Amino acid sequence: MAMARLVPEQIRAILPVACAWGERFEGYALASGVALTPDQTQDALAAGVVHPEKIRLARIAAIPFPQEGVLAEVNLVLGFDPRSAVGLTLRYGIFVVEGALRRIAPCWRTSLPTSPSTSA
């Protein structure tokens, strides 16, 4: 099965919309999430994160994905299925789906607050 592709002109047109969407949801995670624990901070540093103190973890019911507009169309064209996603990182904002918590290391599981679901 051939994967759909975007040409550079399409990417240049979509990029500002995608960046604005990402910044909006990163802001939600930064406002509602919690800082990393000391163990998580060590994991982040080991992974090469320069400023782990800026990271915030937000627990949500479902990963926010665009439901309409050009970004929703791009998801369909490229075959992205947001229902299968269990986490999303938008710069310093990290979203983790509640049901996925049992699949991650205990030090990451315990620090996540319960957050309301978000709509895209």
Q: What is the pLDDT of residue 116?
A: 46
pLDDT range class, residue 53, cuts 50, 70, 90: very high
Torsion of CA 42, 46, 51, 56, to 10 degrees: -60
- pLDDT, tens digit (0-9, with 9 covering 90-100), for 4-34: 677 888 889 899 999 999 999 999 999 999 9
Q: What is the pLDDT of residue 120?
A: 45
Asked, for residue 5, whether it belongs to a domain, the answer is: no
Q: What is the pLDDT of residue 113?
A: 56
Asked, for residue 117, whether it belongs to a domain, the answer is: no
Question: Residue 89 forms beta bridges with which residues?
Answer: 94
- pLDDT, tens digit (0-9, with 9 covering 90-100), for 55-102: 999 988 888 888 888 898 888 888 888 778 888 999 999 998 887 766
Total structural domains within the chain: 1
Domain that holds residue 35: 10-109
Is the pLDDT confidence value at 117 over 50? no
Burial class for 25, CB neighbours closer than 10 Å (0-12, 13-18, 19+): buried
Asked, for residue 4, whether it belongs to a domain, the answer is: no
Asked, for residue 54, whether it belongs to a domain, the answer is: yes
Q: What is the pLDDT of residue 111?
A: 58
Asked, for residue 98, whether it belongs to a domain, the answer is: yes
pTM of the full structure: 0.75
Asked, for residue 73, whether it belongs to a domain, the answer is: yes
Asked, for residue 96, whether it belongs to a domain, the answer is: yes
Q: What are phi and psi of 5, to 5 degrees?
A: -130, 155
